[in-house]
Amino acid sequence: MEITLLWTQMIACAAIILVMSNYLTKSADIVAIRTGIGRSFIGIVLLATATSLPELGTGVSSIAFWNSPDLAAGDAFGSNIFNLLIIALLDIYCRDKPILSGRTQSTAIIGTLGILIISISILGIITHSLGFRFSNLVISPISVLMFLFLLSSMYLIFTREKNHGSTGHRNQPDYSSISMTKTIVVYLISSVVVILAAVWLAKTGDALTHSMGWDATFIGTQFLALSTSLPELAASIAAVRINAPELALSNLLGSNLFNMGFILFVDDIALTSNTLWASISELHSITAIFAIMMTGVVVLCLLSKENRRLNRFLTLEALVLICLYLISSGIIFYLA
């Protein structure tokens, strides 16, 4: 009965996050168009930030309330590979034209930056496993480096969009009659609800870890990551429906940048007893390696601008992404 109740709570929290993400996405889109910032930069920064709020809430609460840094790290790393799985699902959803074909180089740059920052996270895990724990510091230099890398990436992307012109201006809805004040209020309320749902999600995930005897690394990488990535899924599907695939890809790849550069940075600050990297399992490096491989597949397809459709529903790249996700999940479950 207890386990059934926990699963019910987890599904309810995930449903709340999924519904509220639609309001976050629309609010962010209104701000983008009304202010003239553009959908491309919104997808990379503002929308990715908004849809990553569950990872932020789950990570901090996992550490601050339940002292489970592995749950927090597993959520961040697991969200990376799930976001990349979403790209494969979108590729199947877009039957007329594969989502990775004919895109701009800006999206490939975001993916490349994602590979670099995930590589830094592997360096953090290896460095601390070798004994360089920086226990006398409030926060690990690795976390600071990743945060600075995130800021530099955002500046690089912003200047490129400014110099080359942003994409995604076609087929924009008319938001001129919608109040900006109301939009901001809806955005803030939605953000608060998502954070609260994420906190409860972390508590439920921690309880499931003990009730079912599963490892926190596996729970964080799979169930929490899947649940907290629902906003990215909802936002990406919405973007495809309004014929803005660049927005969807920028959101997903940008979320991975945000997960590594900001979420883990804040998680490290929240963990006051030690640095985050000295407190998490080395198994997270496996998830990180698979995230790099999956991102590499996406970047190569974006640069080649070719589509390798195997049949009406499936492309080669989508099949590879799905297989890599399943393999990584199996390895983590077996080793955890």
The string of pLDDT tens digits covering residues 213-268 is 766 666 656 666 777 787 888 888 888 887 778 888 999 999 999 999 999 999 99
Please check whether residue 16 is in contact with residue 200, taking contact to mean a CB–CB distance below 8 angstroms. Answer: no
Residue 119, pLDDT above cutoff 80: yes
Average pLDDT across the chain, whole number = 84
Determine the 3-state secondary structure of 94 from DSSP. coil
What average pLDDT does range 309-320 have in this prediction?
85
How many C-alpha atoms does 27 have within 13 Å on its Cβ side? 22
What average pLDDT does range 33-50 have in this prediction?
75
pLDDT of 30 reads 85
pLDDT of 168 reads 45
pLDDT of 231 reads 83
Residue 71, pLDDT above cutoff 60: yes
Residue 8, pLDDT above cutoff 60: yes
Topology of the domain comprising 2-335: A middle domain of Talin 1 (1.20.1420)
For residue range 132-176, list pLDDT tens digits in order: 766 577 789 999 999 999 999 998 988 887 776 554 445 567 788
Residue 111, pLDDT above cutoff 90: yes
pLDDT of 81 reads 96
H helices of 213-275, in order, are 216-219, 225-228, 230-241, 245-258, 264-270
Residue 122, pLDDT above cutoff 90: yes
For residue range 250-265, list pLDDT tens digits in order: 999 999 999 999 999 9
Residue 24, pLDDT above cutoff 70: yes
- What global pTM score does this model have? 0.86
pLDDT of 164 reads 67
Please check whether residue 227 is in contact with residue 54, taking contact to mean a CB–CB distance below 8 angstroms. Answer: yes
For residue range 189-198, list pLDDT tens digits in order: 988 888 788 7
Could you give the CA distance from residue 293 to residue 311 in angstroms, rounded to a whole number? 24
Tokens of 40: 């491309």
